[in-house]
Structure 1
């Protein structure tokens, strides 16, 4: 019996080739999108699950009261881990200190490479369950040791055995390779951890850490932990809440620090905070695209329902004959379900091929490294279940509808589908285009938001700015390096800075000024620079003057941005004094606000001061009359002259600034991709319905042609119903899209407006696409020879 159902289903597929191709194509595209989104969602929700202790790993974080509101940060004092171990050790298995993950120069023989990594306490190997491929898990207990990822070891040593080899790290220390671990996957928070150095080595290289007067007052390290197997994370988090408040200096209690544990399972998807409340993060994007995936598959199912019910009159006699010779309704339902499931299974095969072809593009847009899990039995089981479920969903209405026909009326020729028979099809068409139009509107608004951020004034000249990390040797020769590069003509100016122009790497509190409440806690970006900073980046002086080597007093001077002046309530700020940790600094200048951090947030109050200590980066303004390649080659050769052991890695400020829009651009590109596919699927269904309508009304069209109807008249006849349906879709889609996009924009302090033209363009675009799709069949029917359509009468 089942074989007979399949044979009949197979014959019907071949008998109705056009509708079968449309159904299979639509379902294949819908399933391909669903597969891609499902793999993406799985990649997101399985983030960090590579680590066996995923459910027990936490990061120690803190909320602190700055500038009148709580801010959340991952940075901690260096003594945090030791104190938690000492007082609350029974609740933890490990509590580990870590530096930030940054690039390290590794030299072995003549080979020098640059790889990102961190300083960590030795238990990190166990905590992160790193898979040791060679060497010892205890390797980090030696102070002058290093543990490398497999790819880093291969890049440095090739086919040589790396264990026991000595390498030069950051041109400072000789360290021995004591272990090699398996590269971490892309969907882990530690994906860029390609080398690990001992925490004790970090302390030995930075003696100032142990000599700090107020060790609880400076936040510059990270603290990770693994809670004990029997510990409750929330209760343990509540216990350590005041660990910093109870130990900090009296004057620092005004920051009201609240220490807490953030579980690893929340690091990736719940990383946004408003004051001291977690407001989500990427989880909203996961939900958004998960819903889009379901809707796109639903669009394809709607096509199947529409085309199946549209052909109801052609299949009415078949149903009548089957019922007359003994078939009951249950058997007919099974027959129609067999057809829809067979169509869905064939579509699934094509969807896998389509998904594998699209995957490279999808990965580049989504910033992933996913692949079709060909050898995963669970994937195939889910895929087959999805096919069957899609087939049942797509065939549900047609099966129930077609099997309900009464054989007596059908075979006597008195059966009529009724004036409301087409109503379900119209509702489904409206649903299809409503979804498509919502996606189109959403895509336009996302790009409007990106464009708004990119057009904000940045307050400095970004073009031609290039940065490079400062090494010990380069800092020693800063003046000679700057003089030689300027003399060569490769650069216009150069400065040493604590932070790049596109980020804040250091903030400070302890500021007081006239009129400030002494109990009011503040925290400002406070960038240490050399005198040439302003000339290098081209900031805009609004009041006072720039730093100058001609003024010895500038070593105790501040330049403020406009936001700082406004925040402090300073009138005529030039010459006023700000005390920083009780030391007086004179305000010599005010600059226009510079867009340093998020392009969607207000510019923070910021200060700049002169420092002769070693800072983090060089910022260089390349000569605009030189080509980029020529200037970079000269900069590299000059750097190598003064520090041949450090690798050269220059970064451009405009690229760093563009990275600030990565998340929004990713959402925009994915929305565009899904909107195009949704419109394509909707148009496929529209094309099929128009084709069937033209076929169904072929004799009517022939008679109209004979009686003198023009091509325009026939086109209007076949098009007007679809145009009305799309207009109705627009009316439904606009308020839905407005609500959801308005909600999405609320998370940005600086946000675009939702202009009326967005809805107008989307509606006009949907109508244009509809007319193009419908017109092909309409004009074809209008131009057909009426003799051929009427000769059987």
Structure 2
């Protein structure tokens, strides 16, 4: 019997090729979108789950009032491991360091080197392909590198035991080669060195100092330790009490599961590259909606063809077919179409995956032998087939054979109402996605063109490394003498994603119970002018002024926090980080962090040597300026390769996640519209076919082609307008919530919604008009003769 059902379904598809094509293409595109999103979501949710002890691993985060950070103090790890019995191991990680590494006169400036405690490899699952995990981080002068880096430096030769020259000075020995770090690890690094090496020069590590938050601390709990909310809160309290007993800063500590770090982190001084759980939720909803849009197409076209299959159903019932048999037959047809669509969808996915990876910044791949993949896509096909075929099966199997064979069908108005409702639902989804695309695009444009409080264009920078530190004055002289590089400043940090700050601040009238963190930047006397900032009161730093070494410039927000006003702030005493001085100027607020965060109080100090040289290039002379800077760098610092970057590019990189989300929204909105229009095209063809006689009679009686096109199009356009009315409040709520994640954002404007509505209406009109024009131009004589 089942074989018979599928045979009938196959021949039904062949008899109605156009409708079958529209169904299969709509479902295939919808499934392909859902599979791509499924791959992306699965990858996002898989971060750090490959660690053998993933369920026992936690990172310590700190809440210091206004600031929530992912870093802790140097002694915290050892004290926690000694005093809290639930903790099996504690391991510290540094921030990323940049070092010059050299093998056989081949030099590379590597930016992803981490320092870690010696027990790092026993806590995390980063397997070695060469070396012994127990001793790999035991030597201070040892280094670990990934397979990719081993090939880069040593080719096909074994790397273990080889020497690498570091920073043109000392040699370090390769103690192990790590398997390449999985893409779904929040820790991404190319090199690893022992924390004991860093302790040679870092006073905080050498003296085990409390006070500065500068290391990431991870804990491994014992296997039998309960990790329910109450137990974790007890651990949080224990860690907080350790801090209170040793440090003056008020802070609360919390354990963050390692598997939550990628999607649930919005902390100061965190490692870069995290995702956003909100985007995972949004794209999951988008995948479901697109699949529903495709399923709605199937339902619409199937119910629209109900009249053609009514006699078939009536005859089957007359000869003894039961309703459940008919339901099975029609469900079998929908499952067959879903199966064919799945095969086609997998072809689409395989072809589109490289492009999707470029858009999403992923390295996704299809593993055809992965049973979990087939389980997922099989579930998509099964659910799609069942959802798509459920209503048509129930609707068609309910026909009464007496009425059918007499030529009267019950439920026509109900089926028409349902079809109209489904078309509305399709365009509601499409319009919401179109609004989302418009809002995301405009927010990105706002980010790119927003006044940051300084002129971010044409700012070229070079990080000071090697001999440039020791030849700072010579460097300044060379830059001053060249007209291409004369407009420069030396700054310890760039105003892009600043993390440094302290609570050790004093001013007149400060509440002794107030704890607030002031970020800071060390800048030279040219900083304000080169960056295009504005001094609102007082002055900038004087050139070569020893008196200014203890003076400060603050921003407007700092004045607000301190309760001072612009007219009287200059000249007030101010203490920052133990240095007592005077406020000599107030700078207009500028963004020094991503615009998801509001502007914070900021202190500028005089910088006598800088981490970066920033040059404002003249229009049209950027390339010449780069060449001039390269020449200066090569003369003063021949041991280091010259490298440079642009500040506006760094700022753009801060919003990569938003940019990618904008691209994905655009693509999926376009596909949702395409799927909706496939269904609309099929319905318009069906309606035009059913009204052939009416159209012919109207044409014979003198109706013009535009009148006939209007007649056939109006009903569909009304449905799109209804969809627009429903979609507008839904889109407003969704986009308003997304924009709330930015401290500075655009306002939702009526034209964004109107543009989405006009776009949907225009596309629907073009889709329907094709069939309407075709019917209006048909020869009425032939149609009436056939009747």
TM-score, normalization by structure 2? 0.94
Greater CA drift, 304-313 or 320-329: 320-329
Conserved? CA contact 2:314–2:401, under 8 Å? yes
The answer to whether structure 1 residue 698 and structure 2 residue 695 are counterparts is: no
Query: In structure 1, what is the equivalent of residue 437 of structure 2?
Result: 443
In structure 2, the partner of 1:4 is: 4
Residue from 127, 132, 148 that aligns with 1:136: 132
Q: Does 1:186 align with 2:208?
A: no
Q: Check whether the contact 1:496–1:618 (CA below 8 A) recurs between aligned residues.
A: yes
Establish whether residue 676 from structure 1 lines up as the match of residue 676 from structure 2. no
Equivalent pair of 1:489/1:623 in contact (CA under 8 Å): no
Whether the aligned pair in 1 keeps the contact of 2:199 and 2:205 (CA below 8 Å) is yes
**Aligned counterpart for 2:102 among listed residues 100, 107, 112:** 107
- Indicate the residue corresponding to 1:78 in structure 2: 74
The 5 A counterparts of 1:709-748 are 709-748=703-742
- 1:587 is displaced (CA, Å) by 1.9
The match for 2:512 is 518
Give the alignment partner of residue 145 of structure 1, picking from 135, 139, 142.
142
Q: Which residue of 2 aligns with 1:62?
A: 62
3-state DSSP class of the match of 2:79?
Answer: helix
Partner of 1:241: helix, strand, or coil?
Answer: helix
What is the number of equivalent residue pairs in this alignment?
773
Alignment of 1:579 onto 2:575 = yes
- Give the corresponding residue for 2:91: 96
Measure how far apart 1:500 and its partner are. 0.7
Q: Distance in 2 between matches of 1:263 and 1:146?
A: 28
Q: Give 1:477 deviation, angstroms.
A: 0.9
Q: Where do residues 759-778 of structure 1 align in structure 2 (5 Å cutoff)?
A: 759-778=753-772
Tell me the SS of whatever aligns to 1:291: helix
The partner residue of 2:658 within 650, 664, 669 is: 664
- Is 1:633 aligned to 2:630, yes or no? no
Q: Which is worse superposed, 461-470 or 328-337? A: 461-470
Q: Conserved in 2, the CA contact under 8 Å of 1:32 and 1:351?
A: yes
What does residue 477 of structure 2 align with?
Answer: 483
1:104 deviates by 2.5
Give 1:541 shift: 2.0
CA distance in structure 2 between the aligned counterparts of 1:172 and 1:19, rounded to whole angstroms: 73
1:159 counterpart = 2:156: yes
Unmatched 5+ stretches in structure 2? 269-273
Aligned to 1:140, what secondary structure does the other structure show? coil
Question: Structure 1 residues 377 and 359 mapped into 2: Cα distance closer, same or farther (>3 Å)?
Answer: same
Structure 1 alignment gaps of length 5 or more: 275-279
Counterparts of residues 343-492 of structure 1 (less than 5 Å): 343-415=337-409, 418-492=412-486
Q: Specify whether residues 582 and 199 from structure 1 end up closer, same or farther in structure 2 by C-alpha distance, changes over 3 A only.
A: closer
Question: Once superposed, what is the RMSD of the aligned Cα atoms?
Answer: 2.0
Residue in structure 2 matching 1:204, options 200, 212, 215: 200
Cα distance between partner residues in 1 of 2:551 and 2:175:
48
Which secondary structure state, in structure 1, belongs to the residue aligned with residue 574 of structure 2? Answer: strand
The answer as to whether partners of 2:485 and 2:628 remain within 8 angstroms in 1 is no
SS in 2 for 1:334: helix
Find the residue that maps to 1:641 and give its secondary structure: helix
Question: Is the Cα–Cα contact under 8 Å of residues 596 and 741 in structure 2 kept in the other structure?
Answer: no
CA contact (8 A) 1:242 1:257 kept: no
Deviation at 1:208, TM superposition (A): 5.5
Aligned equivalents of 2:413 and 2:80: distance in 1? 76
Matches within 5 A, 1:180-329: 180-191=177-188, 193-207=189-203, 209-211=205-207, 215-233=209-227, 234=232, 235-248=234-247, 252=248, 255-272=249-266, 282-329=276-323
The answer to whether the Cα contact below 8 Å between 1:491 and 1:623 also exists between their aligned partners in 2 is no
Cα gap change, 1:529 to 1:34, in 2 (>3 Å): same
Q: Secondary structure of the residue that 1:517 maps to in structure 2?
A: coil
The match for 1:277 is none
Change (3 A) 1:759 1:354: same
